[in-house]
Structure 1
Amino acid sequence: MRVLVTGATGLIGGAVARRLAAAGHGVVGLARSEASAAKLTDMGYHAAYGDLEDAASIANAVQDVDAVVHAASPNDQNSATYDEAATRAIIDALRGTSKRFLYTSGCFLYGATGDTPATEDSPLDPLEMVRFRQALEAEILGAAADGVHGIIIRPAWVYGNHAWTTMMMYGSAQEHGAARYVGNGRNRWTCVHVDDLADLYLLALEKAPAASIFNGAHGAAIPLIDIARAASEGAGAAGRVAEWPLEEARRALGRFADAIACDQLVSGERAEHTLGWRPSRHSILDELRSYAAPAA
C-alpha cells in the first residue's frame, strides 16, 4: 500500500514510517515546506505538500494514497482545534473510498483507572487536555457508515528513541543531580516501546476491521518514582530523585503535569488476541538505564 503518514519525522510517526517501509509499503510524508520535503526524501520516503491546518491540501494528498496514518496528533488542548480540523478533512476526503484511516488517540481518555486495567470497552473519563478526542473518536467510528475504514490506536506512555517525557526526567538528573517526578511518585504508568507500537500500527493497517479501537499498551504498570530512579541511574545521578509538587509542575507544564501524575493501568490484550501483536522490546526501566555512559 501507499500510505500517507502525518508526523513522519516525529516520535510515533517516524517509527511507524520506518516499520511500514520495512514491510514493503510505500510511505508518503506530509511536508509543509521544501525543507521538510527534502528531509523526507533523504529518509527514503515520498513527500506530499500539505498543512494540517489546510483542508484542501490534505484532501489533495489523500487522493494519491491507499491509506492514511495520522500520527501528528497532539496531546494538548491548545492544539485541539487544528487536530480536529485535520482529522475531519481526512475523513471527508476518504468518504466512499473504503480506504483505511489510522488515528492516533491516547490512553489519557481513560483518566485515572484505579487498580482495574482499562480496556477498549472501559468508560471514558478523559483528562481535560484530551477531552476533545472523545467526540472526535466518535466521528471517526461513525464514518464507517460512509465508507471510511477508521481504526483508532490509543497509545499508553511511549518510550524509546529518547522520548521527551522520559528524557525530561533524565535531563533533570543530569542538570540537578536528581531526577524530578511530578506529584508523589506513587502513580503508575503503563508504557509501550515506540517500535512495539509501530508493529501495532502495521498490524492494524493490514488486518484491523473498520470502526475498531486498540490500546497500544504492554507490560505491568510501573510507579513513576521507579521510572525516575531509572532515569537518574542512566544519567549518572546514582538513583537520586526529587519530588516536583503538582501545583508547581502545572505552572511550568500546564495540563500536561496532570497527565504525568495520572495513575493508570491499561490492557493491550485486545491487540494481542485480535491482531497477533507481540510486543518484545525492553522495559522503560531498562531503556533509561541504557543511557548510562559506558565505563572508561
Structure 2
Amino acid sequence: MRVLITGATGWIGSALIPDLVAAGHKVVGLARSDASAAALAAAGADAVRGGLDDTDVLAEAAAASDGVVHLAFKHDIAFTGDFRGALAADRRAVEAIGEALVGSDRPFVTTGGTPIVPGQVATEKDGHDVDPAADDGPQGRAANDERVLALADRGVRASVVRIPRTAHGEGDPGFVAALVRTAREKGVSGHIGGGSLRWPAVHRLDAARLFRLALEQAPAGSTLHAVGEEGVPLGEVAEVIGRRLDLPVVPVPAEDAGAHFGWLAGMLLFDQPASSAATRELTGWRPTGPGLIEDLGQGHYFRD
C-alpha cells in the first residue's frame, strides 16, 4: 500500500515508518519543514509538504493514497493552553481526510487515548458515549475519534488505535520523562494515592506495530487498544525514579498534586487500567517489548 502518515516524524510515527517499509509498504509523510522532509527521506519515506491546517493538501494526499494513518496533533499549542484550538485543527484535518476517502473502502486509522472508567478496567467498548459537540478536554478528543469511526458508514475502513498513558522507550518525550524531570526539580520522587494508582503502558515499538496491523486488517469501525500492560502501579514507577536519582520517595497529597506535578497532575489522580484483550483476539497483536518498569531500569530515562 501507499500509506500517508501525518505526524510521521513524531514519537510513534518515526517507529511506524520502518515497520511499514519492512512490511513492503510505501510511506508518504506530511512534513512541515525541510528538517522533517530530510528525516523522512532518511527513513525511506517520501514527503508531502504541509501541516494540519493545510486541509487541501491533506485531502489531495489522502486521495492519492491507499490508506492513511493520522498521528499528528498540535501538542505545541495544546500544552500552552489552547487545547480547544488543537482539537479544532484536528477536527478539520480528519474531516478533510475522511471526505477524500469516502466510498473507497480504504483504511483510515486515527489515534486516541484509552478511556478512564471509574472502578473498572477500560475495554475497547468503553468511551464511545461522548457528546459529538464536545470541543475541549478528553471528551473533545474522543469526539474527533468518533467522527473518524462514523466514516465506516460511508465506505471508509475507519478505525482508532487508543494509546495508553505512556508509550515508553528510549528517547521518550512524554509523561514518564516529565515525571523524571519533576523528581529532579523537586528533589523527591512523588506519588499519589499511596502509590496504588495505575497507568496502562506500552512500548513504543509495540504500539507502532499495532498501527500497521490496524491499517492492514482492522474491520471498519474498529476500536483497538495498544495496551501492553493493563496497569502499572505509579508507586513502583516512583520507586525506580527515586532509586535511579538517589532521591527519597514520598507520598504527595491529592490536594497538593497541582503544586507538585503541575500540568501532569491530571494524569496522576485517577486509577486508569485498560485492557487490550479484544484487540489481541481480533488482530493477533502480541507485545514483545520491555514493560515500563523494566524499561525504566535500563537507565536511558536518567541520562543528563
Give TM-score scaled by structure 2 length. 0.85
Instruction: Tell me, in whole angstroms, the C-alpha distance in 1 between the residues paired with 2:295 and 2:65.
Output: 35
Distance change in 2, residues 1:283/1:86 (3 Å): same
Aligned to 1:111: 116
Which has the higher mean CA deviation after the structures are superposed, 79-88 or 121-130? 121-130
CA deviation digits over 1:160-187, x for unaligned, max 9?
Answer: 1332211122233445543244665432
1:153 and 2:161 aligned: yes
Aligned to 2:69: 69
Cα deviation, residue 17, structure 1: 1.7
Distance change in 2, residues 1:60/1:112 (3 Å): same
Distance change in 2, residues 1:129/1:244 (3 Å): farther
Instruction: Tell me, in whole angstroms, the C-alpha distance in 2 between the residues paired with 1:55 and 1:292.
Output: 38
8 Å CA contact 1:111–1:125 kept in 2: the answer is no
Q: 2:109 aligns with which of 102, 109, 114?
A: 102
CA deviation digits over 1:112-137, x for unaligned, max 9?
Answer: 432x2111113558896221133223
Q: 1:278 aligns with which of 275, 279, 286?
A: 286
* Ranges in structure 2 where 5+ consecutive residues have no aligned partner: none
Give TM-score scaled by structure 1 length. 0.87
Cα deviation, residue 264, structure 1: 0.9
CA deviation digits over 1:52-76, x for unaligned, max 9?
Answer: 0121111122132211101113675
Distance change in 2, residues 1:237/1:112 (3 Å): farther
* Ranges in structure 1 where 5+ consecutive residues have no aligned partner: none
Cα deviation, residue 155, structure 1: 1.1
CA deviation digits over 1:68-117, x for unaligned, max 9?
Answer: 1011136753411111111111111111222111000111xx22432x21
Instruction: Tell me, in whole angstroms, the C-alpha distance in 1 between the residues paired with 2:291 and 2:143.
Output: 33
8 Å CA contact 1:113–1:265 kept in 2: the answer is no
Instruction: Tell me, in whole angstroms, the C-alpha distance in 1 between the residues paired with 2:301 and 2:206.
Output: 25
Which has the higher mean CA deviation after the structures are superposed, 272-281 or 257-266? 257-266
Cα deviation, residue 18, structure 1: 2.4
Aligned to 1:193: 203
% identical equivalent positions: 35
Matches within 5 A, 1:1-296: 1-73=1-73, 76=78, 77-78=83-84, 79-107=86-114, 110-114=115-119, 116-123=120-127, 129-157=137-165, 158-163=167-172, 164-181=174-191, 185-233=195-243, 235-237=244-246, 240-243=248-251, 249-250=257-258, 253-254=262-263, 256-291=264-299
Cα deviation, residue 22, structure 1: 2.1
8 Å CA contact 1:182–1:261 kept in 2: the answer is yes
| Number of aligned positions between the proteins | 288
The DSSP-based 3-state class of the residue aligned with 1:142 is helix
Report the RMSD for the aligned CA atoms in angstroms.
Answer: 2.6
Instruction: Tell me, in whole angstroms, the C-alpha distance in 2 between the residues paired with 1:165 and 1:293.
Output: 11
CA deviation digits over 1:141-199, x for unaligned, max 9?
Answer: 22122221101111112211332211122233445543244665432111111111111
Could you tell me which amino acid in structure 1 is paired with residue 23 of structure 2?
A: A
